[in-house]
Amino acid sequence: MVTLEKNTHVTKFGFTFNRGGAHLSRTMMLEDLSSLLGYINDPNADKKAYLKAIKADNCLGKRSGKTRELTSRHLVSLYSLDTTDVLFRSLLFFWHRDPAGRPLLALLCACARDPILRTTIPFILNLSERSVVTQEVMAAYIDDMEPERFSPATLKSTAQNINATWTQSGHLKGRVRKIRTPAIPTPGSAAYALLLGYLTGARGPALFKTEYARLLDCAFDRAVELAREASHRGWIVFKQVGDIIEVVFPALINEQELAQRRHTGGPGE
């Protein structure tokens, strides 16, 4: 499996590896993101336009300037809000074409940009269906991953935020007592997951085995079906002959970015 930690060169595409992360104080903020992207609704808007919408226009209805400032910082941390980043520009592409896929699209981007959330991927995905995930269980897992890094209060709030994010994405259901449930992948979320894997160096069938593809919460054959549907819609190019699979992204990556990808290289190149 190609893992993000082995590919730190992908920061130029929008991936981040900062020590902190928005989940220390927020969830993946799906509602705020939805409101912001609905307010702007312009694929050519730059980062300044998004920040103005949050802080000056108060499109998210926050009560104070300080809250608006913090909200903007957390949304930038999670999603970049910068269309020069492939990660965010591609998120926008699928966001407006596949509304049903928005919860998974947001999760995929957040996982690429928030190390704390990213560390919990194996824990969630390895749970059997109907398993119970409490705040205490998640807090214990985070503490095991980074012993004594967080105070008890920070550990508790972070675990609550992480569980809320996995609930927003569809991997968990419930309020306090959360239950592991299958997420609902779509052609857009599948294509976005494949793109993220591609940027980290995966190619061919390996694209369907990355951390991102696993977040789709479906079998290999189902992911292939979704990729084929995304190709039929003109979002990606998917080709399969027997065991040979090729996926490329002409609508999502420009020539300069492709050159950067070839120059830096990566697993499978």
pLDDT value, residue 261: 63
Q: Mean pLDDT for each 10-residue chunk of the chain (269 residues)?
A: 54 85 94 97 93 98 96 97 96 97 98 94 96 95 91 95 98 93 98 96 95 97 98 97 94 81 48
CA 261 to CA 123: how far, in whole Å? 30
pLDDT value, residue 258: 74
pLDDT value, residue 176: 80
C-alpha atoms less than 13 angstroms from C-alpha of 168 in its C-beta half-sphere = 22
Q: Is the distance from CB of 167 to CB of 179 less than 8 angstroms? A: no
pLDDT value, residue 10: 86
User: b vs e for 82-111, b when ≥16 Cβ sit within 10 Å of the residue's Cβ?
Assistant: ebebbbbbbbbbbbeebeebbbbbbbbbbb
| Domain range list for the chain | 4-112, 116-180, 187-264
CATH topology of domain 187-264: Arc Repressor Mutant, subunit A (1.10.10)
pLDDT value, residue 8: 61
| 3-class secondary structure, 132 | strand
pLDDT value, residue 83: 94
The number of helices, as runs of H, and strands, as runs of E, in the chain is 13, 5
CA 200 to CA 211: how far, in whole Å? 10
pTM score, whole prediction: 0.92
